[in-house]
Amino acid sequence: MKTTGKTRIFTILAHPATHVIAPIIYNHIFDELRLDMSYIAHDIEPHGITDTIQAFRSWENLAGFNVTIPYKESVAELLETKCPVSSRVKAVNTVIRNEDGTFEGYNTDGIGAQKAIGDVRGTHCLVLGAGGAARSIVDALLKAGAGRISFSNRSSSNSQKLLDIFSSDNVSIFDPADIEKINVVIQATPVVDRIPFSLDLKKLRKDTRVLETVMRPSVLSDTASENHLEVIPGHAMLYFQTKQNFRLLTGIDVPDTVLESAFGTVGYKIS
């Protein structure tokens, strides 16, 4: 559809933004549903993120925006209100404009990951990373009934932040001696050129599920496949995130057939 002065605009904040596929997916959905909406990407350098959010406040036809690496935590600090999950994990990936012009943040990383993985009741999950996405995923796994969650991370400050948020006996720093007890591995770091934290995938149970949260091919997912483990690709998580995000941003439930078609335009088959 043609963009007019009445078109509702959505965007995503990223750096870099060259890899971002959200504009393709969202604009395909808008066209299919004949919505007067348009989606673009903003590549913002770190020193400009505060000014960008301030400028967004006067952008009258900006209806909402998504946030990806590296801004999920910094944007959360700039918003008037946040949903309970975002407040708890101190990170957002979706922001809506309320009727009074204020911005409200949400985080769908966790629900996207959990739905991509499936049933986690009673399982021992290992989360690689402790940043905003990892914390949201831990939150969702606990709500879905995971029996125990371990995590690995190099940043002591992020590790302590995660432990402070989830002060539970069910969440702890990963002990390599427990690797044979792991049922699910979630790769929640942006690392693609090596296996994070030198995790020995050969020691994992043969029925272990491995979720990759990044969209690019990674050494971890390739190695997991070589070891005949079930690998859940990043686009599976993105699919469920997009379904949730679309409802938050537009108030509309996108039909599965339309969403699957949108993912097909960027080469991802949803089965």
Three-state DSSP at 79 gives coil
State the pLDDT confidence band at 1, using cuts at 50, 70 and 90. low
Assigned domain for 269 exists: no
- Interval 108-130: pLDDT, tens: 999 999 999 999 999 999 999 99
Give yes or no: residues 100 and 135 share one domain: no
Give the start-end residues of each E strand in the chain. Answer: 8-14, 37-43, 62-67, 81-82, 94-97, 103-106, 124-128, 148-152, 171-173, 184-187, 209-212, 230-232
Lowest mean pLDDT among 7-21, 74-88, 147-161, 228-242: 147-161
List all residues 6 or more positions away from 230 whose beta carbon is below 8 Å from its beta carbon: 207, 208, 209, 210
* Domain, as residue range, for 155: 110-232
Give yes or no: residues 212 and 98 share one domain: no
Give yes or no: residues 101 and 201 share one domain: no
Give yes or no: residues 240 and 130 share one domain: no
Domain total in the chain? 2
Give yes or no: residues 103 and 114 share one domain: no
Q: Tell me: pLDDT of 167 over 90.
A: no
Taking Cα atoms as reference points, which of 160, 195, 119 lies closest to residue 151? 160
Give yes or no: residues 18 and 35 share one domain: yes
Give yes or no: residues 127 and 186 share one domain: yes
Give yes or no: residues 220 and 198 share one domain: yes
The mean of the pLDDT values for the chain is: 95
Assigned domain for 270 exists: no
Assigned domain for 3 exists: no
Assigned domain for 222 exists: yes
Assigned domain for 74 exists: yes
Q: Tell me: pLDDT of 92 over 70.
A: yes
Distance CA 35, CA 252 (A): 10
Distance from chain centroid for Cα 75: 15
Q: What is the 3-state secondary structure (H, E, C) of 201-233?
A: HHHCCCCCEEEECCCCCCHHHHHHHHCCCEEEC
pLDDT at 155: 83
Assigned domain for 18 exists: yes
Residue 99 sits in a domain of what CATH number?
Answer: 3.40.50.10860
Distance CA 23, CA 169 (A): 41
- Interval 174-211: pLDDT, tens: 999 999 999 999 999 989 999 999 899 999 999 999 99
- Interval 26-81: pLDDT, tens: 999 999 999 999 999 999 999 999 999 999 999 999 999 999 989 999 999 999 99
Q: Which two tokens stand for residue 106?
A: 């949400």
Q: Tell me: pLDDT of 271 over 90.
A: no
Q: Which two tokens stand for residue 232?
A: 């859940």
Give yes or no: residues 90 and 115 share one domain: no
Assigned domain for 91 exists: yes
Give yes or no: residues 84 and 123 share one domain: no
pLDDT at 259: 98
Do 93 and 116 form a contact (C-beta atoms < 8 A)?
no
Give yes or no: residues 173 and 254 share one domain: no
Assigned domain for 151 exists: yes
Give yes or no: residues 116 and 101 share one domain: no
Q: Is 100 exposed, middle or buried (0-12, 13-18, 19+ CB in 10 A)?
A: exposed
- Interval 137-157: pLDDT, tens: 999 999 999 999 999 998 888
Residue 140 sits in a domain of what CATH number?
Answer: 3.40.50.720
Q: Is 146 exposed, middle or buried (0-12, 13-18, 19+ CB in 10 A)?
A: buried
Catalytic one of 2, 6, 72, 161 = 72
Instruction: Respond yes or no: is residue 90 known to be catalytic.
Output: no
Question: What are the C-alpha distances in Å from 86 to residues 108, 148, 247?
Answer: 9, 22, 17
